[in-house]
């Protein structure tokens, strides 16, 4: 998420009523969570396990709950509650805007787009040429839909990221201010859900096809010409490189990379990154050749036990 105008670390510290370390004129140009940070961004960290990752990330301002040595060229915002202050910033710069009409404010829809009745479109949405949107679809704020995209009935594009912090009072959601980008020639089946990025963009790459009832988590990036069958569930911050195929009911953990041309067979569970140009099966998913050998060995196990 980029700020409309850069802010100094001194200005942000005053807004949050917290201390800071670094040059008072140190500039902040954006706000992002750790998986999508860029130069100029603020990132938050509130656990010692992740201090080093945050301090060495591309972020140039770190919202942190402990005074540490400030890395060269960076700035620190010292907060008792970094998660809450991060939410305070995102809600201030990207507040929730309620849409009471079928189409929100500042939304652009190409003349050739075909939109069925009972579709809701949020604010700041861009819909390209020859897009086809079936009944019951909800398009949330800031979604970008390129030319020739098809979205099946009752799908939801750009809902809140599933990102929470557990507190004694319950779970507190990280405010969602990112978006979704559906690139050219993407097809989305019926009753799919594609979550917005927390502060960045969830991307479905050009030519990719999603079957019915597919779930794509926040900040996931799906490459070109990927094929996802029904009931596939992909957690947040995952990357599918080009031409990946996932068959029915595949489940994928967060923060992994699925290599180009990988094929994952039905009902497999992905717990770690997968190499390109291979076929996988099982839970946890393994190279199909290894799985076949393991399955063959298991079939022999009763006979082995009988002869012991």
Task: Identify the pLDDT of residue 166.
Answer: 93
pLDDT, one tens digit per residue, over 187-245 is: 999 999 999 999 999 999 999 999 999 999 999 999 999 999 999 999 999 999 999 99
Helix (H) or strand (E) holding 91: helix 82-93
Q: Which of 26, 35, 181, 218 is catalytic?
A: 218
pLDDT, one tens digit per residue, over 236-275 is: 999 999 999 999 999 999 999 999 999 999 999 999 999 9
Q: Report the predicted TM-score, pTM, of the whole model to 2 decimal places.
A: 0.93
Reported as a pLDDT band with limits 50, 70 and 90, residue 277 is very high
> Average model confidence (pLDDT) for the chain?
95
306 has pLDDT over 80: no
Domains in the chain and their CATH numbers? 2-93 (3.40.1390.10), 108-289 (2.160.10.10)
Q: Which residues have CB under 8 Å from 167's CB, separation 6+? A: none
Catalytic annotation on 175?
no
Reported as a pLDDT band with limits 50, 70 and 90, residue 302 is confident
User: For every residue of 123-166, which 3-state class applies, written as one string?
Assistant: CCCEECCCCEECCCCEECCCCEECCCCEECCCCEEEECCCCEEE
Please tell me the distance from the alpha carbon of residue 234 to that of residue 257, in angstroms, as a whole number: 11
Task: Identify the pLDDT of residue 301.
Answer: 78
293 has pLDDT over 90: no
- Residues 123-161: b if buried by 16+ CB within 10 A, e if exposed: bebbbbeebebbebbbbbbbbbbbbbbbbbbbbbbbebb
């Amino acid at each position: 998420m980029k700020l409309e105008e850069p802010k100094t670390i001194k200005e942000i510290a005053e807004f949050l009523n917290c201390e800071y370390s670094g040059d008072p004129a140190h500039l902040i140009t954006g706000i992002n969570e750790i998986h999508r940070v860029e130069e100029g961004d603020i990132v938050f960290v509130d656990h010692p396990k992740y201090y080093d990752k945050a301090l060495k990330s591309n972020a140039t301002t770190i919202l942190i709950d402990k005074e540490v040595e400030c890395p060269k060229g960076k700035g620190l915002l010292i907060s008792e509650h970094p998660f809450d202050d991060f939410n305070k910033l995102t809600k201030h710069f990207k507040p929730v805007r309620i849409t009471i009409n079928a189409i929100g404010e500042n939304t652009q829809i190409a003349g050739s787009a075909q939109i069925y009745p009972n579709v809701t479109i949020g604010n700041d949405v861009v819909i390209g040429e020859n897009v086809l949107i079936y009944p019951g679809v909800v398009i949330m704020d800031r979604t970008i839909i390129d030319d020739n995209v098809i979205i099946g009935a009752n799908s939801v594009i750009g809902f809140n990221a599933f990102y929470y912090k557990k507190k004694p009072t319950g779970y507190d959601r990280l405010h969602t201010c990112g978006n979704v980008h559906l690139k050219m020639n993407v097809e989305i089946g019926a009753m799919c859900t594609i979550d917005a990025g927390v502060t960045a963009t969830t991307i479905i790459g050009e030519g990719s096809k999603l079957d019915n009832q597919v779930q794509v988590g926040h900040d996931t990036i799906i490459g070109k010409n990927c094929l996802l069958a029904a009931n596939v569930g992909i957690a947040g911050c995952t990357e599918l490189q080009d031409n990946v195929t996932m068959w029915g009911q595949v489940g994928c953990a967060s923060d992994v990379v699925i290599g180009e041309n990988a094929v994952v067979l039905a009902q497999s569970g992905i717990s770690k990154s997968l190499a390109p140009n291979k076929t996988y099966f099982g839970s946890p998913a393994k190279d199909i050749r290894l799985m076949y050998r393991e399955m063959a060995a298991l079939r022999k196990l009763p006979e082995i036990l009988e002869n012991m």
